[in-house]
Amino acid sequence: MSDNCESCGMPLDEFVVSHMDNRYCMHCQDQETGDMAAFDDVREQSIIAAVELLNKTREEAEELADEMLPQLPRWKSRVED
């Protein structure tokens, strides 16, 4: 198991890790179908988490998500294309 979700960066532990692929959290991978969340959905949820958990403004949270997500393994090829 990775330390962080390769899609959203969330710290992984036994409570949030996907039961289908331990590189991802259960928020990024549907636990019934295995479908992965779309980039825009992951970005929006990351922004919401930064606002609520890190007390960031919406603008700060958007900047943080836009800096962080392209560095994660799942999205690197999306940026390099």
pLDDT in tens, 5-51: 999 999 999 999 999 999 999 999 999 999 999 999 999 999 999 99
CA distance 48 to 2: 23
77 pLDDT above the threshold of 70: yes
The number of beta carbons lying within 10 Å of the beta carbon of residue 26 is 16
At 2 the pLDDT is: 76
pLDDT in tens, 44-74: 999 999 999 999 999 999 999 999 999 999 9
Q: Where are the domains of the chain?
A: 39-76
At 79 the pLDDT is: 60
Question: What is the pTM assigned to this prediction?
Answer: 0.89
